[in-house]
């Protein structure tokens, strides 16, 4: 939502300021379609060249997140901590056998059924269930540090995939000024082919060519670059939920009391989205 508002503000202020300064939008608007065709087409082609179909699909999802914001809500963070705490408490009090059916078949688990938002997320569910399945099949004999290493690798892979769209957007932002110059150079070449025309004609042609440079810089630093930065923020927020899963599981394996387990996960969340400790504990008591 804020991304869309920002784009509108940017366009109004840039072109409004140009008009107020005495500029005419006519030549800019007349040149924009062709210049955008060159710059936009080159940008799309370069993006296709530099990415596989999988990365292109991720890029589409990343663009949606720029405008929609973080995937996980504050309640999702609370639910994740609560769910993992309940599962680890079951492991401790009832043993691996009691936990097995819940982590090997979460779709039919009564516990997971209470958290449909988590169950609907394959990546988050897999991180929880795969880790706990390892613990179950080993009858709880795995070294805690070994479990932590496995989780670190899993989270690293998840975060890497989440960051792919952001890297693609940033690469595109870095390339757009140069692509704008490409469009401008083509305009200059066209102008040089009409060097015998009167000055007023050549002036319009040169102005049209410079629109390419203008659009390349505006798109890079005014739109695509900030979108890449926003996506990085969104990914950082969403990535915290995986760290919460890790903190609950590892702290529980270390034998920490439940309040400390919950706090180890809660304290890793950003202050803007960190629930109160009492709210989390009340949620667990209510179960």
Is the pLDDT assigned to residue 140 strictly greater than 70?
no
Specify if 149 maps to a domain.
Answer: yes
Average the pLDDT over 140-169 and give the result: 92
Specify if 12 maps to a domain.
Answer: no
Using 50, 70 and 90 to split pLDDT, how confident is the model at 108?
very high
Residue 258 belongs to domain spanning: 25-287
Give the pLDDT of residue 149: 95
Specify if 269 maps to a domain.
Answer: yes
Write out pLDDT tens, residues 207-249: 888 999 999 999 999 999 999 999 999 999 999 999 999 999 9
Token pair recorded at residue 199: 């000055």
- CA dist., res. 198 & res. 196, Å (int): 7
Cβ partners under 8 Å of residue 6, min gap 6: 226
- CA dist., res. 144 & res. 122, Å (int): 25
Give the pLDDT of residue 196: 80
Give the pLDDT of residue 21: 92
Specify if 19 maps to a domain.
Answer: no
Specify if 140 maps to a domain.
Answer: yes
Residue 48 backbone dihedrals phi, psi, to 5 degrees: -65, -40
Specify if 7 maps to a domain.
Answer: no
- CA dist., res. 269 & res. 252, Å (int): 18
Among 217, 222, 135, residue whose Cα is nearest residue 182: 217
Give the pLDDT of residue 286: 67
Long-range contacts, 258-264 (Cβ 8 Å, 24+)? 258/85, 258/89, 258/284, 261/85, 261/88, 262/81, 262/85
Q: How many domains does the chain have?
A: 1
Specify if 105 maps to a domain.
Answer: yes
Q: Are 3 and 63 in contact (CB under 8 A)?
A: no
Q: Are 119 and 107 in contact (CB under 8 A)?
A: yes
Write out pLDDT tens, residues 40-64: 999 999 999 999 999 999 999 999 9
Instruction: Identify the residue whose tokens are 């923020």.
Output: 233
Specify if 8 maps to a domain.
Answer: no
Among 129, 127, 78, residue whose Cα is nearest residue 102: 129
Token pair recorded at residue 14: 């840039």
Give the pLDDT of residue 231: 96
Q: Are 177 and 218 in contact (CB under 8 A)?
A: no
User: What's the number of CA atoms in the CB half-sphere (13 Å) around residue 283?
Assistant: 22
């Amino acid at each position: 939502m804020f991304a869309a508002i920002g784009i509108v503000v940017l366009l109004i202020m840039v072109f409004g300021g140009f008009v107020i300064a005495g500029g005419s939008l006519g030549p800019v608007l007349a040149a924009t379609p062709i210049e955008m065709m060159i710059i936009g087409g080159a940008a799309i082609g370069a993006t296709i060249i530099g990415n596989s179909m999988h990365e292109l699909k991720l890029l589409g999802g990343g663009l949606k997140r720029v405008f929609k914001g973080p995937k996980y809500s504050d309640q999702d963070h609370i639910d994740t901590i609560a769910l993992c705490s309940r599962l680890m408490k079951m492991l401790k009090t009832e043993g691996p056998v009691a936990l097995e059916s819940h982590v090997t078949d979460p779709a039919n688990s009564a516990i997971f059924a209470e958290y449909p938002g988590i169950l609907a997320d394959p990546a988050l569910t897999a991180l929880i269930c795969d880790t706990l399945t390892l613990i179950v099949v080993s009858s709880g004999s795995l070294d805690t540090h070994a479990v932590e290493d496995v989780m670190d690798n899993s989270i690293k892979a998840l975060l890497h995939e989440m960051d792919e769209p952001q890297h693609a957007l940033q690469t595109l932002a870095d390339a757009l000024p140069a692509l704008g110059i490409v469009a401008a150079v083509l305009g200059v070449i066209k102008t040089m082919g009409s060097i015998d025309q009167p000055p007023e004609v050549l002036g319009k042609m040169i102005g049209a060519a410079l629109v390419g440079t203008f659009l390349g810089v505006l798109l890079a630093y005014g739109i695509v670059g900030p979108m890449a930065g926003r996506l990085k923020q969104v990914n950082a927020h969403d990535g915290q939920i995986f760290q919460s899963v890790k903190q609950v599981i590892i702290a529980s394996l270390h034998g920490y009391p439940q309040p400390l387990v919950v706090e180890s996960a809660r304290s890793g969340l950003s202050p803007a989205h960190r629930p109160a400790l009492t709210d989390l504990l009340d949620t667990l008591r209510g179960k």
